[in-house]
Amino acid sequence: MPYLIAQDDTAEPEYAAYCVSGDEADCGAGSGPCGSPEAVEEWQRRHTRDTRHLRYRRSFTDYAVLEPQGGRP
């Protein structure tokens, strides 16, 4: 049976950033989960201001639901 995969509107997505700047090892500082990309960007700006680190790994996490197409599973 075919399914439609959709974002679960009942769960808020999370955004985060992790500082990967460093010569021999990553800095390791992280924003923690945030409710918007703007909050993560603000954390990155503050961290860069304080450390001059410029490289980050960003992530987006959400929940998905599968909805049967054409009837019940």
Calpha distance 14→29 (Å, rounded): 17
Calpha distance 32→16 (Å, rounded): 6
Specify the DSSP class assigned to residue 44.
H
| Residues 6 or more apart whose Cβ sits within 8 Å of residue 37 | 15, 60
The reported pLDDT for the residue numbered 22 is 87
Mean pLDDT of successive 10-residue stretches along the chain, which has 73 residues: 93 97 92 97 98 97 93 59
The reported pLDDT for the residue numbered 70 is 77
Beta bridge partners of 34: 15
pTM, two decimals, is: 0.79
The reported pLDDT for the residue numbered 23 is 83
Structure tokens at 7: 């974002």
